[in-house]
Amino acid sequence: MKLSRSCAATLLFVTALPAFSAQARDDGRYANSPLKPWFESLHSEFGQCCTDADGYIIADVDWESDRGRYRVRIDDEWVVVPDGAVITVPNKIGRTMVWKHYIDGHPRVRCFMPGSMT
């Protein structure tokens, strides 16, 4: 009985995993969202946020602020957010988001939008 519960839990996790990772992708399901134009208008000093990178919601435990500087954990690596990557327009969704890219296999921040930390 214990083995069957373990197998069922593993199967549920493996089945649900693609659904969670697909949520950040714009595959057309958000085409009619009233926030779509707002997301597409976001940009930092490094360019438009949604052009070359997908936005991901970051849990409060995965980012921190210290005297106006931000750090965010991406792929288990703490990355300093460049000042030019910080989005300064009001955050309409209230959640912390990061748009990332990679250089030499390490994550970098293209855009960062702080949330409310609630």
Q: What is the DSSP string of 74-85?
A: ETTEEEEPPGGG
Nearest 5°: the CA angle 48, 54, 59 is: 115
SS3 content of the chain, % helix, strand, coil (to 5): 30, 30, 35
- Model confidence pLDDT, tens digit, residues 29-81: 667 888 888 888 999 999 888 865 678 999 999 999 988 899 999 999 999 99
Give the single-character DSSP code of 114: -
**22/111: higher pLDDT:** 111
Dihedrals phi, psi of 88, to nearest 5 degrees: -105, -5
Predicted TM-score of the model (pTM): 0.71
CA distance 91 to 108: 21
Find the Cα–Cα–Cα–Cα dihedral 65, 88, 56, 24, rounded to 10°: 170
Q: Say if residue 24's pLDDT is above 90.
A: no
